[in-house]
């Protein structure tokens, strides 16, 4: 699962969300209350993928727990 997103970390500043390269990712004014969540999205996704792989290596999935996680990751990566 590879990330093909604007480089992180993202930062909220002056009503815009900026990528690590300084490019504007989104205008933050329309996302009142969501701007910090949006700016954390790349790091949240990377960490979710990392933790998913750790869980999978320690415990055989007995239900659909990892299926749900995989579905959320695929959605975030535009694979669903």
> pTM of the entire structure?
0.70
Print the domain residue range for 56: 11-76
Q: Report yes or no on 4 lying in a domain.
A: no
Q: Report yes or no on 2 lying in a domain.
A: no
What's the structural domain count of the chain? 1
Q: Do residues 19 and 7 make contact, with C-beta atoms less than 8 angstroms apart?
A: yes
Distance separating alpha carbons of residues 45 and 13, to the nearest angstrom? 21
Q: Report yes or no on 6 lying in a domain.
A: no
Q: Count of CB atoms within 10 A of residue 16's CB? A: 15
Q: Report yes or no on 35 lying in a domain.
A: yes
Q: Report yes or no on 41 lying in a domain.
A: yes
Tens-binned pLDDT, residue by residue, of the chain (80 aa): 456 677 778 888 888 888 888 888 887 666 666 777 888 888 899 999 999 988 888 866 666 678 888 998 888 888 87
Q: Report yes or no on 68 lying in a domain.
A: yes
């Amino acid at each position: 699962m590879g990330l093909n997103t604007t480089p992180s970390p993202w930062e909220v500043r002056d009503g815009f969300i900026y990528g690590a390269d300084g490019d504007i990712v989104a205008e933050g004014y329309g996302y009142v209350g969501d701007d910090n969540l949006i700016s954390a999205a790349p790091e949240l996704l990377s960490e979710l993928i990392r933790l998913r792989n750790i869980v999978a290596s320690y415990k055989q999935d007995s239900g659909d727990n990892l299926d749900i996680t995989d579905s959320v990751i695929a959605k975030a990566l535009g694979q669903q």
